[in-house]
Amino acid sequence: MQKSHFSSFHPPQRKLLGPGPSDVNPRILEALSRPTIGHLDPLFIGMMDELKQLLRYAFQTENEVTLPISAPGSAGMECCFVNLVEPGDKVIVCCNGAFGGRMKENVIRCGGEAIIVEDPWGRAVDLDKVEAALKANPDASILAFVHAETSTGALSDAKALAKLAHDYDCLTIVDAVTSLAGVPLKVDEWQLDAVYSGTQKCLSCIPGLSPVTFNERAMEKVKNRKSKVQSWFLDLSLMLGYWEGEGKRAYHHTAPINPLYGLHEALCILQDEGLENSWERHRIQHNSLKAGLENMGLNLSVPEAERLPQLNAVIIPDGVNDAEVRGELLNKYNLEIGAGLGDSAGKLWRIGLMGYSANTGNVLYCLSALKAVLDI
């Protein structure tokens, strides 16, 4: 085979205002470049312990089992399902967007029975429908729902959903991929049992890691399983030998060392800013973007009371070509916004203001670029 000639890849400097990844804070990029050490090095293990404590702050929990899975948010989702769902388990799954559908797939692949509570895309999960499903299925053991639906920009009431679940003796599995650090998420106060997130959204870290947290109720179910977890890699009983072992830790896998440096730095940045300040910054920047869009005659698709500040679903005006606008924004302005998914493809733009991307300069740049492209 003839030798190929390639040179180093140097990407352009984009402004990432889509559904993720978000712009990466320069402090995190610097952290990623630090010297690689062994994944069982005592200094690295010390950093792992700090990481768990920093994640507890971000999740607002004291859960002992709080750690980053060495894979993206989809693996965090799968970790929750494969550890908590056994063959024959009945799981009520709330579907109000694309990621509720992925939860359903996980239940099926674990051998469980998925009972679907369906709501329109772009709306929060309906509490009355959930309670009706819980009443109709007294043998259900888990309620699964997406807190912040990335596909639509809808925010559901995680506190109320968890209370409903516990009233009917169910555990909760919660998708917080887009909500962590962007809107209030209080794992202990709201009694959320198993929660997973991602690093590339409001934490402004690179993609590839998935923070998870399991409370004692959830771990009790894990410990009392009748069957083996179907995934070797995501089996918590094996993984915790590495993340929680005292003294000599059991080898499970070679951790992604430099990405974990990056997550540690991201969580230090969050700690420096303060969690409540991060929530407020996302809210302020959302309001600025909303005002600018409305001034241009553009509207958001999600009702205000159910709207995510960090993921803004914008209705595309009649006669405007979705792909052409996004292409011009990318090629002319180095600005990325997201397309709609599923039935909303061609009908919505998804503008993310997440983490380091949620700042006044980005809001103004996005509005001015959109105005120029749309010739408004």
Q: Please state the residue numbers annotated as binding site.
A: 350
Distance, in Å, from the CA atom of 148 to the CA atom of 29, rounded to the nearest integer, reads: 27
Distance, in Å, from the CA atom of 204 to the CA atom of 20, rounded to the nearest integer, reads: 9
DSSP state letters, 113-182: EEEEEE--TTSPPPHHHHHHHHHH-TT--EEEEESEETTTTEE--HHHHHHHHHHTT-EEEEE-TTTTTT
Distance, in Å, from the CA atom of 131 to the CA atom of 135, rounded to the nearest integer, reads: 6
How many Cα atoms occupy the beta-carbon half-sphere of 338 within 13 Å? 23
**Spatial CA neighbour of 58 closest among 283, 279, 224, 352:** 279
The Cα-based distances of 117 to 96, 137, 138, 355 in angstroms read 8, 12, 15, 31
Q: Are 329 and 335 in contact (CB under 8 A)?
A: yes
Sole residue written with tokens 């999960």: 125
Tell how far CA 321 is from the center of its chain: 29
- Structure tokens given for 365: 């740049």
- Structure tokens given for 42: 């005592």
Q: What residues form the annotated binding site for substrate?
A: 350
Starting at the earlier edge strand, list the strands of the sheet with 90-95: 65-69, 210-214, 194-196, 171-175, 142-146, 90-95, 113-118
Residue 21: cis peptide before it, omega within 30 degrees of 0 = yes
Tell how far CA 229 is from the center of its chain: 23
